[in-house]
Amino acid sequence: MSGQHARPTDAQEHDFHLVMAFQPIMDVVANRTCAYEALVRGPNGEGAPEMLARVTPETRYAFDQQCRVAAIRQAVDAGIIASGALLSINFLPEAIEDPVADSERTLRAARETGFPPERLTFEFSECKRLDDAHLERVARAYRKMGMTTIIDDFGSGDWGLTLMSRFLPDAVKLQPDLIRGLCGSWARRLVVEETFHLVSRLGVKVIAEGVETRAEYDKLRGIGVRYMQGYYFARPQIGRLVRPELAHAA
């Protein structure tokens, strides 16, 4: 964001009354939950699209900051520290002016709850075309602070590959539309396979998002995908950390 409006003080901030649902990201080789994605919900169960529709340019910074703090505090309350898993938080890069200063509240919440900052990872979507130089600056700053980044919805266009020519995130999430119909489309399988091998050769982890069936799981394992997320393992649960490895253990 260009920084044309002043940062609000705590007293001026709009309170979105956020709750978080958590969905596991699986390491299917080790059969363990390696991370939980925090998905924003409203106090009455409103989904992310409805909550985002309430955000204005004036409240965007406050919303982004409250999401981060709510995700950390509620994940810790749910027991994430003992799980050893990462916490993946969706953030709004356009709400960030100074990635170090704007992370102060996030790091303070981590310190106060005892959550290790190096287990924080931040997702931003390829679907939103943002300034490459700004994203690179944010990602590099997060890395220096010990946090990691993920490009979400990877494969929805060529922007993600262009961005990766400037800097490498720690992981990418293949968009769910690539996974749906994977079993019935040779062309889609080839796209997923080539994308997986290209990104992996760059040393970036690949997470298949939107895995809903055993057939999709088997196809992805055949390609070599190790990290997966989707309803096949678990649906998001408000305030709870589901452990699908218990149900999928051999």
Write out pLDDT tens, residues 200-223. 999 999 999 999 999 999 999 999
Task: Please state, in angstroms and rounded to a whole number, the distance separating the CA atoms of residues 146 and 120.
Answer: 8
Number of domains the chain is built from: 1
With a threshold of 0.85, does the pTM exceed it?
Answer: yes
Question: For strand 148-154 and strand 86-90, is the pairing parallel, antiparallel, or unpaired?
Answer: unpaired
Residues 77-100, buried b or exposed e (16+ Cβ, 10 A)? ebebeebebbbbbbbbbbbbeebe
- Residue 93 within a domain: yes
Angstrom CA distances, 129 to 58, 125, 244, stand at: 20, 8, 34
Angstrom CA distances, 110 to 22, 28, 104, 118, 139, stand at: 17, 28, 10, 10, 19
Q: Share the mean pLDDT of the chain.
A: 88
Neighbouring CB atoms inside 10 A of 152's CB total 24
CATH code of the domain in which 132 resides: 3.20.20.450
- Residue 187 within a domain: yes
Which of 24-33, 39-48, 87-96, 162-171 is modeled with the greatest confidence? 24-33
- Residue 79 within a domain: yes
pLDDT digits 0-9 by tens, 18-58: 999 999 999 999 999 999 999 999 998 899 899 988 998 89
Please check the confidence at residue 2 and state whether its pLDDT lies above 60: no
In terms of DSSP H, where are the helices of the chain?
48-53, 60-78, 80-83, 104-113, 132-144, 159-164, 176-179, 186-201, 214-223, 245-248
Q: Which of 74-83, 97-106, 160-169, 185-194 has the lowest mean pLDDT?
A: 160-169
- Residue 2 within a domain: no
Residue 207 DSSP symbol? E
- Residue 203 within a domain: yes
3-state secondary structure of 222: helix
The pLDDT-based confidence of 249 (bands split at 50, 70, 90) is low
Please check the confidence at residue 64 and state whether its pLDDT lies above 60: yes
Strand partners, 39: 21
- Residue 5 within a domain: no
- Residue 131 within a domain: yes
Domain assignment of residue 168, given as a range: 10-243
Tell me the mean pLDDT in the region 173-198: 91
Please check the confidence at residue 1 and state whether its pLDDT lies above 50: no
Question: For strand 19-27 and strand 32-41, is the pairing parallel, antiparallel, or unpaired?
Answer: antiparallel
Tell me the mean pLDDT in the region 60-86: 96
Task: Please state, in angstroms and rounded to a whole number, the distance separating the CA atoms of residues 142 and 147.
Answer: 5
- Residue 237 within a domain: yes
